[in-house]
Amino acid sequence: ETGVTQTPRHLVMGMTNKKSLKCEQHLGHNAMYWYKQSAKKPLELMFVYSLEERVENNSVPSRFSPECPNSSHLFLHLHTLQPEDSALYLCASSQEATNEKLFFGSGTQLSVL
């Protein structure tokens, strides 16, 4: 266990559905991240939060909406997704938003039909 828990582990949704991914870290870290991992492509940073404030938004489509209610929890709200959004979505945390030593959750494998 890395101390970062993601739910659900698998999610299948239609293009008109609305769903949310949840991430919780038990490490006392101040920074949390969402990454997208597609087949044959490098990990793509989506969002970074430091002390609940968004500090990075990597030109992500508005159909992905992050929420960080406190430093331990991070959500990714999904709506009107496209099939190309099917991927493994990984949450990570680190002590500070310094890009050093990220702790990753096991990810949510998302399939958009």
Instruction: Find the binding residues for another protein in span 8-37 (CB under 8 A).
Output: none
Cα 21 from Cα 47, distance rounded (Å):
14
User: Using the rule CB under 8 A, is 107 a contact of another protein?
Assistant: yes
How are beta strands 108-112 and 10-13 bridged, if at all?
parallel
Cα 48 from Cα 66, distance rounded (Å):
9
| Residue of 11, 68, 74, 90 interacting with another protein (CB under 8 A) | 90
Q: What's the DSSP call for residue 42?
A: -
| Residue of 41, 59, 62, 69 interacting with another protein (CB under 8 A) | 41
User: Using the rule CB under 8 A, is 99 a contact of another protein?
Assistant: yes
Angle at 83 between CA 77 and CA 89, to 5 degrees: 45
**Binding span for another protein by CB under 8 A among 11-19, 43-51, 64-72, 74-82:** 43-51
Kindly tell me which of 34 and 78 has the beta carbon lying closer to another protein.
Answer: 34
